[in-house]
Structure 1
């Protein structure tokens, strides 16, 4: 069975856009998986993940969180990604070393990369992203013809993993949330979570994985459902098969676990 894919506009004033995928010969309304992008945007990799969930029988939707920002156009983000790929990963978050590498670029490119980098990495906790995600889950539950009346669950990667957790804190109707190597929500927000949460992490991704036991304890103290796996000999972004960090064994296992999780939380219709 082939997939039907398209970019659709939504929101009160059609101000948002997202990439949608579903099996083209399925006529009944489907439960929805909201796929939240990495910091690189809704690129080919995120579109591919969206299509994988559609092939698994869901209406899959990846909102483009960058669509309204000039500095975050696809080609600008790709330019930053190409620049960072020339550097050791340890340099990414080291301002002095990063600035030294930037100074080696020609001036016009240096200005573009600097502006886009600052916009990308300063916007991770943007309230605008959460507002769009809330509008997206509402759109999928209440308006979009192929998923109306069905449950919605979220999955996000890196930046999107953190946003998936934040969405769980803000959307009481969300059926489930999956975090792939994303930062945990604030402790004070955890009490608002109404759905099961599942997290996937790499043991070498210390900046994030070292905080997972604290998140687990906070979820337990607040009576929330939280499962997680920390994969051995695995780093950050292990699910991204376009990058050197990809770990096929960890990614394969995580994908199987995610499908089981979605089957559990999305197996009943939203009334």
Structure 2
């Protein structure tokens, strides 16, 4: 992987990976199409290794960090998958009740990157819960490819209920001040928009490159929104103009940021789509937004 530089990879390769990561093409088609770009010193194996997430070298807040009380809990989701497992984290030294943040994973279950993000949220001064929507199928399996296949077998409406149940669990937690927001990435970004529609008492919603809510449902949104998009993510961005128009028309509180020359998934620091400057700026804005609305 060290021999491949991100700037040497054509945009078409990242677009191809996006198609694969979102199950628009299967692994065989992905490999066949990727082989076209295995030229010169690039082999198909090295390209594959470059594109896949690196969870060993890129975790910012590791499990067991002494600054946090962090561990797995189970909560009930009667309208969703039943009993759902999640990672619950909060600062060790906090003696007051904290604002709550639900952290919603991508389309592959509660992987190490999302667990890391939830611990980052806790270190910022919140009580954070990162559910695993794959719990009814045995939980995140240890690799994203299998996790993606597993998540495709779950019902989308039931998964939404799992995250709504997580909101209710966290809101009533003894260490939470009752103000709960949500942040999510990709699939999780879509869940953020859906939760804003479904939960009148949601205190804040921060979708990262997520599918927009149904336009007819925009009047139901009560929570302030902070939306993050990648300029190269034409697939997700296609729905933004109509969504923004509806938010404006209905007088909704929102702010939106489009980060130039970055790809879908730019916040995920375990993959080459990561953009350090955009990710750090977006996260700084996210925490500032939660500080404003959850404390």
Please indicate the TM-score interval, normalised by the length of the shorter structure. 0.7 to 0.9
Matches within 5 A, 1:51-200: 51-70=119-138, 73-75=140-142, 77-80=143-146, 117=149, 119-121=150-152, 123=154, 126-142=156-172, 144-147=173-176, 149-200=177-228
Query: How far, CA to CA, are the matches of 1:234 and 1:173 in structure 2?
Result: 33
TM-score between both structures, scaled by the size of structure 1: 0.79
The 3-state SS of whatever aligns with 2:85 is strand
1:50 aligned onto 2:118: yes
Please, which runs of 5 or more residues in structure 1 have no aligned partner?
Answer: 82-115
Kindly tell me: are residues 12 and 47 of structure 1, through their superposed partners in 2, closer, same or farther at Cα, counting changes over 3 Å? closer
Please, which runs of 5 or more residues in structure 2 have no aligned partner?
Answer: 1-65
Query: How far, CA to CA, are the matches of 1:3 and 1:122 in structure 2?
Result: 34
The answer as to whether partners of 1:209 and 1:230 remain within 8 angstroms in 2 is: no
Q: Quote the offset at 1:209 in angstroms.
A: 1.6
- The corresponding residue for 1:109 is none
The 3-state SS of whatever aligns with 1:155 is strand
Query: How far, CA to CA, are the matches of 2:68 and 2:266 in structure 1?
Result: 26
1:9 aligned onto 2:74: yes
- The corresponding residue for 1:97 is none
CA RMSD of aligned residues (A): 1.8
Query: How far, CA to CA, are the matches of 1:219 and 1:167 in structure 2?
Result: 15
Kindly tell me: are residues 23 and 232 of structure 1, through their superposed partners in 2, closer, same or farther at Cα, counting changes over 3 Å? same
The answer as to whether partners of 1:204 and 1:236 remain within 8 angstroms in 2 is: yes
Q: Quote the offset at 1:211 in angstroms.
A: 2.1
The answer as to whether partners of 1:22 and 1:55 remain within 8 angstroms in 2 is: yes
- The corresponding residue for 2:240 is 212
Q: Quote the offset at 1:24 in angstroms.
A: 1.4
Q: Quote the offset at 1:80 in angstroms.
A: 3.8
- The corresponding residue for 2:9 is none
Q: Quote the offset at 1:73 in angstroms.
A: 4.1
Q: Quote the offset at 1:180 in angstroms.
A: 0.2
1:36 pairs with one of 77, 84, 104: 104
Q: Quote the offset at 1:27 in angstroms.
A: 2.5
The 3-state SS of whatever aligns with 1:218 is helix
- The corresponding residue for 2:7 is none
Moved over 4 A (4+): none
Q: Quote the offset at 1:12 in angstroms.
A: 6.6
Question: C-alpha deviations, 1:180-212, integer Å up to 9, x for none?
Answer: 001101111111111111110111000112321
Aligned residues: 227
Query: How far, CA to CA, are the matches of 2:294 and 2:266 in structure 1?
Result: 25
- The corresponding residue for 1:84 is none
